Amino acid sequence: MSIKRTTQWQVWVAGSLVGAMALAGCGGSSDASSTGADTVNLVGFSILEQANKQVIADFGRTAAGKGVGFTTSYGASGDQSRAVEGGLDADVVHFSLEPDVQRLVDSKQVRPDWDATADKGIVTQSVVVLVVRKGNPKHITSWDDLVKPGVKVITPNPASSGSAKWNVLAAYGHVIADGGTPAQATAYLKRFFGNVAALPGSGRDATTAFESGNGDVLLSYENEAILARQNGAEFDYVVPDQDLLVQNPAAVTTDAGPAAKRFLSFLTGTKAQTDYAREGFRPLRSGIKVGVKGANDPGNPFPVPSKLLTIDKDFGGWDKADSKFFDDSTGIVTKIQAETGKQ
Amino acid sequence: MTTALVPRIPAPGSAPGPGAVGRPARRRRAARPGALGAASGLGLGVALLWFSLLVLVPLAMVVATAGSEGWSGFAGTLTSSQTLSAVELTVAQAVMVTLLNVVVGTAIAWVLVRDRFWGRRVLDVVIDIPFALPTIVAGLVLLALYGPDGPLGVDVANTRAAVFLALAFVTLPFVVRTVQPVLEELDADVEEAAASLGAGRLTVFRRIVLPALVPAITAGAALSFARGISEYGSLVLLSGNLPNRTEVASVRVLTFIENGDTTSAAAVATLLLLVALAVIVLLDVLQRRVARRG
């Protein structure tokens, strides 16, 4: 009798789980009242979800966006890019890093000249920050503090999370920014990975691990730290003096309609950039003044680091950086990671 | 129950064991060989089609992808020390967890079937929770309980113990659920008869109960092991994914996929498939040995 009971229970649970997943799958769809004519399928990386609600609502209030319906899908940037490559309907894609767009250029779903815009295809940007425990008990103020003995660092794994590559490049780049040689930068990275206490698979997992008490420092982006603090997270963050500009590209796919193109150009405009800034993204252009709740100083939310590297200027673009640092067998970071942990 | 259909003839000299306990495998196969009714023919067809679509074809694709760069590509992936270390860790932890489950799972099943105590029904249902919980939720719960801020004062985060703990959590129900129904069907008369003939409790368990349970235990062990070597969600938050230390095979697979290297991902998956196959065969052989001795 108890077996029968259990079976029914299992069926019930399985049923509700399937239902929950189906609901989750549809989550976020049809934000605006779709009048049928124009629907934009927006595929983006996870952190955009909250900010985009406001952006989409504001787009709907413009002449260009009137009556445009949206279907949205958010997830890890690499997963989203592979999903579009595999057939997920997308008109506008917005990813954490350029190689995820490049994948769609290679599969001929995005035109090769997608980045020939005033902003080189970039729509949102941020910087890498050092997230620390409330009150900064370990006095972390710079990159050099991360490699001190006894400091436990958490960063998403650059091997499995494309967006974590920004963190590692920032760590490497700070040595170069200070006039160091590539050999010195590599040596720093070795010590850095020696202090890494966990390499969660994604940025979200890393934040969860950190919030559960893991580690002393979490490498994250300024916008993620600000958003988490807006949502009540109890931690501080430090913008290091030498930093890397995190640039998130967006593009329309080859089968996108005019509404999608209008939306993409709306994204780089003042209104959308202000919305993004409120959620912690650094505006593409100066002149957008907005108070940002959750920032260290809400009145001056985006302090400019004394040296700000960019992927194009200082690393020769993603193509070069990817093969130099993250190649499966010869990448600098790949090799360091394979060496760490060995006795 | 000792019917004429049972093909297995007891070895000369061995005591004719009680039929209900012997449970010879595949008893039905000997019935009317070759004659397949229309209904069973249809059933077989549906089963094979379903099995092919869901299991055979996907598995064949994994193996084909793994071999798409030839033997050297396959071997090259698997001999990388980081991958090898991840596979070793995964298999070792899965083996240990399976051994634990064989003992603890059988004990839990025994308690659930043979003992009457308050809350038994509740426990019976709760056993299945690890099945029902999305694994990432399990991971979150484990991290909250056994992480640095855990209320129990036990911190296994970012260690190999975290992998073991997560696997133990998600594979707990397998042995319990395979052993439980068999134990329920087991006739207590036989045990009483053995006891009345002077067998001690240990002898009764070893000679009467255990042989009857062995097929169920090995089936549960196989499930538990197979689930263990493929687990990802529940351990990924707690283990820290540190290369050569706490990184498991499924994380390696994810890394390869993230970098667009599906061949290497499939190579690791194929290795895991082979390991699982070997263990399942081994368990089957073991089970036949033990059953024969009973």
| 8 Å CB contact of B157 and A205 | no
pLDDT tops 70 at residue A328: yes
Task: Tell whether the model's pLDDT for residue A331 goes beyond 70.
Answer: yes
Q: What's the mean per-residue pLDDT of chain A?
A: 88
- Asked if domains A25-124+247-278 and A125-246+298-339 share a fold, the reply is yes
- Using the Cβ of A109 and the Cβ atoms of chain B, whether some distance falls under 8 Å is answered with no
* B133: in domain: no
pLDDT at residue A246 above 90? yes
Q: What is the pLDDT along chain B (294 residues), one digit of tens a residue?
A: 333 333 343 344 444 334 344 444 444 444 555 667 888 888 899 999 998 999 899 999 999 999 888 888 888 888 888 899 999 999 999 999 999 999 999 999 999 998 888 888 899 888 888 878 888 889 888 998 998 888 888 899 999 999 999 999 999 999 999 999 999 998 888 888 888 898 888 888 888 888 889 999 999 999 999 999 999 989 988 998 998 899 999 999 988 888 878 899 999 999 999 999 999 999 999 888 877 765
Please name the member of B236, B247, B264 whose beta carbon is closest to the beta carbon of A205: B236
> Which residues lie below 8 Å from residue A203, measured CB to CB, with a gap of 6+?
A46, A47, A156, A161, A163, A164, A220, A221, A224
Nearest to A328 among B240, B243, B261 (CB): B261
> Searching chain A, which residue's CA lies closest to the CA of residue B234?
A205
Q: Chain B: nearest CA to A303, how far in angstroms?
A: 32
- The pLDDT score that the predictor gives to residue B35 is 66
Residues of B in contact with A201 (CB under 8 A): 236, 241, 251, 254
Closest residue in chain A to residue B254, using alpha carbons only: A160
Residue B209 belongs to domain spanning: 58-121+171-233+250-293
What pLDDT sits at residue A149?
A: 95
By C-alpha distance, the chain A residue nearest B128 is A10
DSSP, collapsed to helix, strand or coil, labels residue B42 as helix
Angle CA(B154)–CA(B158)–CA(B161) in degrees, nearest 5?
60
Q: Is the CB of A86 inside 8 Å of chain B's CB atoms?
A: no
Tens digits of residue pLDDT in A253-281: 998 999 999 999 999 999 999 999 999 99
Q: Hey, what are A214's tokens?
A: 């893991």
Q: What Å distances lie between residue A65 and A121, A260, B113, B258, CA to CA?
A: 20, 9, 65, 35
Least Cα separation, residue A12 to chain B (angstroms): 10
Confidence of residue A52 (pLDDT cuts 50, 70, 90): very high
Q: Is A3 on the interface with B (CB under 8 A)?
A: yes
CB of A159 less than 8 A from some CB of B: yes
Element (H, E) at A131: strand A122-133
How distant is the Cα of A205 from the closest Cα of chain B, in angstroms?
A: 6
Instruction: Please name the residue ranges forming H helices in A43-163.
Output: 48-60, 77-85, 98-106, 143-146
Angstroms from B14 CA to nearest CA on chain A: 36
Structure tokens at A74: 């958010």
- Of the candidates A207, A227, A217, A211, the one whose C-alpha atom is nearest the C-alpha of residue A147 is A217
pLDDT, residue A221, reads 95
- Please tell me the class of the A25-124+247-278 domain: alpha beta
CB proximity A13 to B under 8 Å: yes
| Mean pLDDT within A83-97 | 94
Cα–Cα distance, A296 to A293 (Å, whole number): 9
Chain A (306-335) residues lying within 8 Å, Cβ to Cβ, of chain B: 326, 328
- Cα A109 from chain centroid? 22
| Residue with the larger pLDDT of the pair A27 and B25 | B25
CATH code, A125-246+298-339: 3.40.190.10
Q: Give contacts of A 180-239 with B, CB under 8 A.
A: 196-201, 205, 208-209, 212-214
The pLDDT value given to residue B32: 56
> ipTM score of the complex?
0.72
Domains of chain A: which residue ranges?
A: 25-124+247-278, 125-246+298-339
Closest-CA residue of B relative to A7 is: B125
Is pTM beyond 0.90? Reply is no
Q: Which of B143, B181, B254 sits opposite A3 (nearest CB)?
A: B181
B49 within a domain of the structure (yes/no)? no
Chain centroid to CA B78 = 25
A162 in B contact zone (CB under 8 Å): yes
Instruction: With CB atoms and an 8 Å threshold, state whether A201 touches B80.
Output: no
Q: What is the per-residue pLDDT across A79-89, written as a single tens digit (0 to 9) for each?
A: 899 999 999 99
Chain A positions touching B125 (Cβ under 8 A) are: 5-6, 9
- Specify the amino acid at residue A298: P
Report pLDDT for A56. 96
Of A75-84, A141-150, A299-308, B253-262, where does mean pLDDT reach its minimum? Answer: B253-262
Residues of chain B with Cβ-Cβ distance to A17 below 8 Å are 132, 134
Q: Which residues make beta-bridge pairs with A198? A: A154
3-state secondary structure of A251: strand
What pLDDT does B77 receive?
A: 86
Place of tokens 């963050």: A237
Asked if residue B191 belongs to a domain, the reply is: yes
For residue A209, the chain B residues in CB contact (below 8 A) are 143, 147, 157, 237, 240
Nearest-by-Cβ selection for A209 from B132, B181, B237: B237
B19 within some domain: no
- Per DSSP, A294 falls in state T
The number of domains in chain B is 1
